[in-house]
């Protein structure tokens, strides 16, 4: 049931979330309970946190979690990044206040595995930096939630991140062109029979055919097989991906192509990828106990 | 209200302090004005002295007046045990329990990849160096029980794996004095992991 305490809000075309009213002296506090995922948090003052949530009902929003840094606070666990729960937010004049929450999934196993957590953090940062405030998109919420489960269990978390990037780009209306030339629109037929490589151009928005290659300035070389993997990732069929052999070279090409595309098209520089690179480097260069 | 210039300047500086808003800044400023003049002198001298004389301990990176902090200088402390904390105030919290007799290492923060805070922004290399020198048998990771704290502990534990040291993490348990059924599931799950034989 939906109850509005704000008379002005009655005229709003959509009522999102369970909206209730809370007794308050000026009768202006309105609370909403939403399904949300914590994207990030930062400390506020001595005891509080500001959490950025991505909610199914209202999209991205920030709220103050009062007392959340005190160990006994019920909001302490709720305000941790990569946590899914039901969040009740009271909306004041400025920033909302997180009044209560119930945990749905703390993604405990994800947080016990540094590499998986690093991949999930890249996804969360990309989302945080590309979606506008308070712009509800249930598709994006569902994508994030499903991806967090995948990051937790998938044998290749890097592919989960690539798949997340492609799907998010699609939902934001920036999907790279993979089956046609992004400049002249001619179809790139029979990719799998083609042994050669193509150029992936962030500038034109995807793959470019041989004739158009000379027009692109900055681009990433990708093999036909890498394009095929990206197409399979987009198909939504996990078996289509599992059937393919994916080499480290394919992984690297996808990583480069998508990261340059995201930088160029969305003007986003991710900080989390530095840590991911560092972690990878560390695992290939263990510290010797004696110098 | 327009304040005389010196007060306005004081308020401006006070409001830069953590947790001090315009109201608290005003209260502090009025208090300073009501006290005898030597209060203001002592206060400002204390601020200047602290800033000038306090630096990082060259061994554990806690706050120190000299090259080494009192704990690093104390021969009665167990040099084979290192407790790793994020901030000097965490060190004080462990110290205040009076139960730990080893030494410390202050990281000066937690890892936070999303904020661009990586291993090089923390005092992790000097920690590895201290372990490499060989006199340490146990490293106790006492970072915050948060996502950032856990990431930091996992990262350091992985770096220390090649070394012949025991690496432990503080047990995460139920808050003392609380009812079990009020605890959240993360706390209970972690308390289960850290259960002990009786
Ligand atoms: Zn073309
Ligand atoms: Zn010291």
Domains in chain A: boundaries: 2-107, 176-269
Both B160 and B123 in a single domain?
Answer: yes
Q: Is residue B129 part of a domain?
A: yes
Q: Find the range with the poorest average confidence among A7-11, B57-61, B78-82, B91-95.
A: A7-11
Ligand 1 centre to CA of A168 (Å) is 25
Both B93 and B135 in a single domain?
Answer: yes
A150 pLDDT more than 60? yes
Structure confidence at residue B9 (pLDDT): 95
Closest chain B C-alpha to A85 CA, distance in angstroms: 12
Q: With an 8 Å Cβ cutoff, are A124 and B114 in contact? A: yes
Both structure tokens of A101: 């929450």
**Residue-averaged pLDDT of chain A:** 86
Q: With an 8 Å Cβ cutoff, are B150 and A288 in contact? A: no
Q: Is residue B69 part of a domain?
A: no
Both B43 and B99 in a single domain?
Answer: no
Half-sphere exposure of B186 (CA within 13 A, CB side): 28
Both B124 and B159 in a single domain?
Answer: yes
Ligand 2 centre to CA of B67 (Å) is 8
Structure confidence at residue B148 (pLDDT): 95
pLDDT tier for residue B10 given thresholds of 50, 70 and 90: very high
**Testing the interface with B: which of A275, A285, A286, A291 to mutate, by most B Cβ within 10 A?**
A275
The more confidently predicted of residues B121 and B185 is B121
pLDDT tier for residue A288 given thresholds of 50, 70 and 90: confident
pLDDT tens readout for residues A203-216: 999 998 878 888 88
Closest chain A C-alpha to B186 CA, distance in angstroms: 7
Whose CA is closest to A84, among A132, A130, A153, A144? A144
Structure confidence at residue A194 (pLDDT): 55
pLDDT tens readout for residues A102-140: 999 999 999 999 999 999 999 999 999 999 999 999 999
- The whole-angstrom separation of Cα B187 and Cα B55 is 36
Both B116 and B40 in a single domain?
Answer: no
Q: Which helix (H) or strand (E) holds B197?
A: none
Name the pTM for this structure: 0.87
Both B89 and B131 in a single domain?
Answer: yes
Q: Is residue B165 part of a domain?
A: yes
What's the whole-number mean pLDDT along residues A173-202?
81
Question: Cα B173 vs. chain centroid, distance in angstroms?
Answer: 20
Q: Is residue B16 part of a domain?
A: yes
Which of A111, A121, A128 is closest, CB to CB, to B150? A111
A32 pLDDT more than 80? yes
A21 pLDDT more than 50? no
- The whole-angstrom separation of Cα A189 and Cα A202 is 21
Which of A42, A77, A272 is closest, CB to CB, to B184? A77
Ligand 2 centre to CA of B143 (Å) is 17
For A45, name the nearest residue in chain B, comparing CA atoms only: B19
**Testing the interface with B: which of A68, A80, A115, A127 to mutate, by most B Cβ within 10 A?**
A80
B176 pLDDT more than 90? no
pLDDT tier for residue B1 given thresholds of 50, 70 and 90: low
**Testing the interface with B: which of A78, A116, A271 to mutate, by most B Cβ within 10 A?**
A271
pLDDT tier for residue A9 given thresholds of 50, 70 and 90: very low
CATH number of this structure's domain A2-107, picked from the four choices 2.40.50.140, 3.65.10.10, 3.40.50.1780, 3.30.830.10: 2.40.50.140
Q: Is residue B136 part of a domain?
A: yes
* % of chain A residues with pLDDT over 90: 62
Answer for the pair A227, A193: CB distance below 8 angstroms, yes or no.
no
What's the whole-number mean pLDDT along residues B172-194?
79
Q: What is the interface size between A and B, counted as CB pairs within 8 Å?
A: 81
Both B45 and B129 in a single domain?
Answer: no
Question: CA dist A23 to A6, A15, A67, A128, B102, Å?
Answer: 13, 20, 21, 33, 53
pLDDT tier for residue A193 given thresholds of 50, 70 and 90: low
B69 pLDDT more than 50? yes
Residue B45: domain span: 5-53
Ligand 2 centre to CA of B71 (Å) is 6
Q: Using a CB–CB cutoff of 8 Å, tell me whether B78 touches chain A.
A: no
A13 pLDDT more than 80? no
Closest chain B C-alpha to A219 CA, distance in angstroms: 27
For B:157-176, CB contacts with A below 8 A are 158-159, 161-164, 175
Taking an 8 Å Cβ-Cβ cutoff, which residues of chain A contact chain B? 40, 42, 45-46, 71-72, 74, 76-78, 80-82, 103, 106, 108, 111-114, 117-118, 121, 124-125, 128, 271-272, 274-276, 278-279, 282, 286-291
Both B18 and B83 in a single domain?
Answer: no
Q: Is residue B178 part of a domain?
A: no
Which of A72, A76, A117 is closest, CB to CB, to B178? A72
Q: Within A235-271, where are the H helices?
A: 238-242, 248-266
Looking at the structure of chain B, the number of domains it has is 2
- A281 three-class SS: helix
Both B80 and B165 in a single domain?
Answer: yes
The more confidently predicted of residues A151 and A71 is A151
Whose CA is closest to A68, among A86, A85, A43? A43
Q: Is residue B66 part of a domain?
A: no
Structure confidence at residue B137 (pLDDT): 96
Which of B119, B161, B178 is closest, CB to CB, to A278? B119
Q: Which residues pair with A30 in a beta bridge?
A: A21, A91
The CATH number for B28's domain is 1.10.8.420
Question: CA dist A108 to A41, A162, A193, B114, Å?
Answer: 17, 23, 44, 19
Q: Within A104-223, where are the H helices?
A: 108-111, 114-130, 138-153, 157-171
pLDDT tier for residue B108 given thresholds of 50, 70 and 90: very high
* % of chain B residues with pLDDT over 90: 80
Ligand 1 centre to CA of A180 (Å) is 8
Q: Which ligand is nearest to the CA of A181?
A: 1
What's the whole-number mean pLDDT along residues B82-111?
96
Both B105 and B149 in a single domain?
Answer: yes
Both B48 and B80 in a single domain?
Answer: no
């Amino acid at each position: 049931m939906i109850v509005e305490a704000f008379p002005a809000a009655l005229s709003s075309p959509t009522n999102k979330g369970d909206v209730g009213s809370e007794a308050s002296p000026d009768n202006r506090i309105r609370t909403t309970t939403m399904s949300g995922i914590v994207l990030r948090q930062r400390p506020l003052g001595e005891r509080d946190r500001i959490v950025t949530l991505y909610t199914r009902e209202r999209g991205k929003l920030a709220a103050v979690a009062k007392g959340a840094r005190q160990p006994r606070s019920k909001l302490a666990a709720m305000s941790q990044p990569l946590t899914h729960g039901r969040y009740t937010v009271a909306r004041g004049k400025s920033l909302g206040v997180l009044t209560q929450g119930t945990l749905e999934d703390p993604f405990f196993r994800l947080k016990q595995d540094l590499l998986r957590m690093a991949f999930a953090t890249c996804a969360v940062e990309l989302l945080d930096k590309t979606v506008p405030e308070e712009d509800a998109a249930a598709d994006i919420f569902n994508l994030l939630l499903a991806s967090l489960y995948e990051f937790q269990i998938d044998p290749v978390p890097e592919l989960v991140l690539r798949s997340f990037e492609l799907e998010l780009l699609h939902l934001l209306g920036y999907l790279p062109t993979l089956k046609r030339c992004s400049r002249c629109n001619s179809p790139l037929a029979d990719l799998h029979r083609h042994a050669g490589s193509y150029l992936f151009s962030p500038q034109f928005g995807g793959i470019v055919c041989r004739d158009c290659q000379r027009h692109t300035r900055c681009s990433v070389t990708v093999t036909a097989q890498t394009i095929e993997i990206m197409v399979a990732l987009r198909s939504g069929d996990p078996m289509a991906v599992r059937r393919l052999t994916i080499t480290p070279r394919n992984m690297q090409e996808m990583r480069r192509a998508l990261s340059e595309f995201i930088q160029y098209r969305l003007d986003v520089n991710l900080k989390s990828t530095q840590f991911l690179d560092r972690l990878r480097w560390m695992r290939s260069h263990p510290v010797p106990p004696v110098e | 209200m327009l304040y005389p210039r010196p007060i306005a300047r004081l308020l401006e500086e006070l409001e830069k302090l953590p947790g001090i808003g315009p109201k608290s800044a005003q209260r502090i400023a009025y208090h300073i004005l009501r006290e005898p003049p030597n209060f203001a002198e002592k206060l400002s001298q204390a601020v200047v002295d602290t800033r000038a004389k306090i630096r990082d301990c060259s061994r554990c990176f806690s706050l120190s007046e000299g090259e080494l902090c009192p704990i690093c200088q104390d021969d009665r402390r167990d040099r084979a045990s290192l407790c790793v904390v994020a901030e000097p105030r965490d060190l004080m919290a462990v110290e205040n329990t009076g139960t730990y007799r080893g030494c410390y290492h202050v990281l000066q923060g937690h890892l936070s990849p999303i904020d661009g805070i990586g291993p090089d922004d923390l005092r992790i290399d000097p920690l590895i160096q201290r372990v490499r020198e060989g006199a340490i048998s146990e490293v106790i990771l006492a970072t915050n029980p948060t996502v950032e704290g856990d990431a930091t502990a996992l990262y350091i534990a992985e770096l220390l794996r090649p070394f012949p040291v025991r690496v432990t993490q503080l047990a995460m348990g139920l808050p003392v004095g609380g009812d079990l059924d009020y605890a959240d599931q993360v706390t209970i799950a972690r308390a289960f992991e850290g259960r002990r034989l009786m």
